[in-house]
Amino acid sequence: MKGKYFIADQEDIDKKLASDVYFSRTIPFVEQNDGKAITAEITASSDEIINFTGVQEILNLLEGKNISLRTLPEGTVIRSRDSAGIPIPFVIIEGIYESIMEYETSLLGFICQSSGISTQSSKFFQEIYPKEFVSFGIRRMHPAISPMIDRAAFIGGASGVSGILGGELTDTIPVGTMPHSIAIIMGEEKAWEYVYNNSPKGKRTLLIDTFGDEKIKALEIAEKFPETDYIRLDTHSTRRGNFASIVREVRWELDLRGHSRIKIMVSGGLKLDQISELKKAGAELFGVGTSIASAKPIDFAMDIVQVEKKPISKKGKYSGSKDVLKCRECDNVRVVPKGIPLQCHGPMKSVMVEVLHEGKKVMEPETAKEIRARSVEMALKLIQARIE
């Protein structure tokens, strides 16, 4: 391996070096098949609602190879099985097997991890909405993948990301408050003053838990820096007791003294099941780190379902080229053999998009903001369905 860090760089991935060796070892054997065209599909083994991301990296990997790809659009929020229990093909790949097989490891890796993160981010979005959260988790993962983590967290519903490269990739101004360290090095009040005077209006966020009690420090800030937008509680776990109660008490004392405009931000190891309680207590902005960045990958697998025109697959998998149809009226989703129409409330429409045709990109890539808009709209429908 070359380089200082233990990473596969872009060239390694393109050269198929970040792949499992069993593909390259068997390729001379497969080449004896005289270039059989196959259809392979990627389905998830689990049955869960997935926020699907990672497609753009697959596209970048396979562009220029003689391969065609149909996928669900990135940011699609969908159960991994249709209403009849058939696994949904998230990606359908067509081409000569030898030109596909050595990419399997990388293309699964792209979507498994990214979709795991965007799925977890979408769960936080649904729990936190209509309040907002920002992605703070890149420090817990390998720096080489920090832009991907931030992008997936953003698409899932984070309203901002903390990484510089993540900001670039999502075309957002990266968000941050103040590190504890500057309060320790420069003195807490001086640190507050610096951040207060050097943050844009609407973003002035002061960290209040470095040394003192949250309530006392919140009131001190309210007195000295009344135009503060957020006070951030990142209280250490050894001091937390009941974190929601601390938030509730701080909110009460601020309101009592006429500082209702100062909002409360919380962070520090936040888990999904803590959100509802913290929201009720008065938290208005959430900094979520490890819970999203280290999300469990989605267990997507790639399987051949057709060789030449003949449906064939290993046991446990559904053979044949397929399409995914959706009813516009009731959102019913069904997997069908390709070309077979189905009625629900009217004719069901395909939700799969051809993104690569014999190696050529079919359309301009969407921006992270466009993809996030789709993802958030679909997540809001889930929230709505839960309320009804």
Query: Does 345 sit near Zn ion (CB under 5 A)?
Result: yes
Q: Do residues 170 and 161 touch, judged by C-beta distance below 8 A? A: yes
Q: What's the min distance (Å) between Cβ of 73 and Zn ion?
A: 20
Q: Which stretch binds Zn ion (CB under 5 A): 222-230, 257-265, 315-323, 327-335?
A: 327-335
In angstroms, what is the minimal distance from the CB of 97 to Zn ion? 37
Nearer to Zn ion, 348 or 356 (CB): 348
Bridge partners for 207 per DSSP? 232
274 touches Zn ion by CB under 5 A: no
Distance, first Cα to last Cα, the chain: 55
Q: Dig out the tokens for 362 from the structure.
A: 């079919």
Least distance between Zn ion and beta carbon 375 (Å)? 22
Q: Is 66 in the site for Zn ion (CB under 5 A)?
A: no
Stretch that binds Zn ion, among 96-104, 116-124, 342-350, 369-377 (CB under 5 A): 342-350
Size of the site for Zn ion (CB under 5 A): 6
* Residue 344 found at the interface with Zn ion (CB under 5 A): yes
CB of 346 to Zn ion, least distance (A): 7
Binder of Zn ion out of 31, 189, 255, 329 (CB under 5 A):
329
Distances (CA, A) of 121 to 116, 298, 371: 9, 13, 14
Work out whether 60 is an interface residue with Zn ion (CB under 5 A).
no
Q: Minimal CA–CA distance to 44: which of 11, 72, 8?
A: 72
Contact call for residue 83 and Zn ion (CB under 5 A): no
347 makes contact with Zn ion (CB under 5 A): no
Residue 67 as a binder of Zn ion (CB under 5 A): the answer is: no
**Among 155, 327, 335, 355, which residue sits at the site for Zn ion (rule: CB under 5 A)?**
327
Helix boundaries (H) for the chain: 10-14, 21-30, 55-62, 97-100, 104-128, 146-156, 164-170, 180-186, 188-198, 214-224, 237-240, 243-256, 275-281, 290-293, 368-387
Q: What angle do CA 365, 369, 372 make, to 5 degrees?
A: 100
Residue 330 binds to Zn ion (criterion: CB under 5 A): yes
Cα dihedral sign for 271, 72, 48, 44? negative
Rounded to whole angstroms, the Cα distance separating 178 from 166 reads 18
Residues of the shown chain interacting with Zn ion in the complex, contacts defined by CB under 5 A: 327, 329-330, 332, 344-345
